[in-house]
Structure 1
Amino acid sequence: MLVMMDTAMSHALQTSGVIPDVVSPQFKNQGILTVNYGEEQVAIGNHLSVEQTAEAPKVMYVSGEESTHDYYTLMLVDPDAPSRADPKNGPWRHWVVTNIPEGQPDQVNASANQLTTYIGPSPPAGSGDHRYVFLWYKQLQGIQTFAPLSQSVHDRRSFNYSRYAQEQQLELLAVNFFFACKE
């Protein structure tokens, strides 16, 4: 079952260009990242409306391995700001949550863990589909103190999430994404 899901995920990541635009071609999901906006589930490249995604979703990661008491970081980025044809402001940082204890999905939405508060998708009208990519990382140092990130909307653009992950010693474990656009 997990092999079939990984194959479907890899295909969707490649078809959408998430691989190589956001994630390395060598990446392999090491678990399942479930993201729910109320009753709507993010399903590897489905379309959700701006209205459906206005509030922070519920996120859960399942690895299938024995509990290790690890801590995780979640990021949500839009590589297509202001448009996929002209991504000069991408990746746009929509959400960064740190120190999420394993097996405690309610902590994703805890205010103490919000390094960057959630801002839902708001692509410019007529800019086409934007890819909104959830990145789930294992914190290799366990629970840690992260340098603050600006909450300013202006400072959220051109976020080098891969460099940030490397600096913070984060290992990418899972990816999920959806499309949204504004007519």
Structure 2
Amino acid sequence: MYGVTFLSSFLLFATLQLLCDAFPSWDLSIQRPLNPHEATTSIKGTRQALKDAGIIPDVLDDFEPSVSILLSYPSKHKSVTLGNKIKPKAVASQPIFDIFASDTTPTRTVKDNATYTLVLTDPDATSRADPVKAQMCHWVATNITKQHDADISGGFEHLLSLAFDKSSGGSGIHELMPYVPPSPPPKTGYHRYVFVILAPATDADPPKDLKRPKDRPHWGYGKVGAGVREWAEENDLVAVGANFFYSQNKKQ
């Protein structure tokens, strides 16, 4: 009897999970990637991971991260963990994300009126071996501001928590460039998909209005390799955190 009950429960849960995968809105539990331990590990390992992956200097100049950006794609229960591999079908919609800052973070990046910008770029179009279309702009979301009820745990302050919802305007977030899912072409190997958190380079109040990239290929600059670095400089922004994953088309 107990065996039958257990088997029935297991089959029910498995069925529900399959439905969740087919219909993301039925998700049993929204996976959130956050906790201070992960934030500590992420912020300490970010710079070296970016160097090991060639993101520094391909995408960004060398910098010392001051915030940790943790991201998760809840419909497929996939988190972005500084270079893990995620299938394209798992990143079809915007991720949820959390930003942490340590108690040693420069004041400029954590003060109450700080406004962040999150971008997603692919420096490997059409491939990492032949990046003739690099970089490809996949997302620019701005007007991300510090929450006033931030939690502090283990020396880390939880600055932001966001499940992006277009129907509500993304909790105040403004999309300069709507999210376009990473879709690496067949037979181009693994692409690096890089999330960068940008903050104003100065303490201008109000912050400077950002210019929308002119196009997705090359971020509108018409120059191979141009992208986040140039766009950030043009808009007086500096990188304060980053995260990334690899993805490739199943046809190789």
2:162 is equivalent to residue 106 of structure 1: yes
Q: Which runs of 5+ in 1 are unaligned?
A: none
CA gap 1:60/1:143 in 2 versus in 1, 3 angstroms = farther
Alignment deviations for residues 48-70 of structure 1 (CA, whole Å, 9 cap, x no partner): 01000010101221112475111
1:73 corresponds in structure 2 to 117
Say if 2:94 and 2:164, in contact at 8 Å, map to a contact too. no
Distance 1:116 1:95 in 2: 5
The partner residue of 1:35 within 71, 74, 77 is 71
CA gap 1:108/1:68 in 2 versus in 1, 3 angstroms = farther
Kindly indicate which of the two structures has a greater share of residues assigned to helix.
Answer: 2
Distance 2:49 2:230 in 1: 24
| Cα offset, 1:75, TM superposition | 0.6
Structure 1 residues 1-183: aligned runs within 5 Å:
5-24=42-61, 26-38=62-74, 39-65=77-103, 67-69=110-112, 70-103=114-147, 104-106=160-162, 110=169, 113-139=174-200, 140=202, 141=204, 142-150=206-214, 155-159=215-219, 160-182=227-249, 183=251
Bigger Cα displacement from structure 2, 155-164 vs 108-117: 108-117
Say if 1:99 and 1:143, in contact at 8 Å, map to a contact too. no
Say what the alpha-carbon RMSD is for the aligned residues.
2.2
**TM-score normalised by L of structure 1:** 0.87
Distance 1:99 1:171 in 2: 15
Distance 2:83 2:161 in 1: 22
Give the match's secondary structure for 1:63: strand
Say if 1:81 and 1:87, in contact at 8 Å, map to a contact too. yes
Distance 2:163 2:78 in 1: 20
Say if 2:97 and 2:163, in contact at 8 Å, map to a contact too. no
**TM-score normalised by L of structure 2:** 0.64
- Kindly name which structure, 1 or 2, has the bigger radius of gyration based on alpha carbons: 2
Higher RCO (CA < 8 A, seq sep 6+): 1
Task: State the one-letter code of the partner of 2:111.
Answer: T
Task: State the one-letter code of the partner of 1:11.
Answer: Q
Say if 1:99 and 1:144, in contact at 8 Å, map to a contact too. no
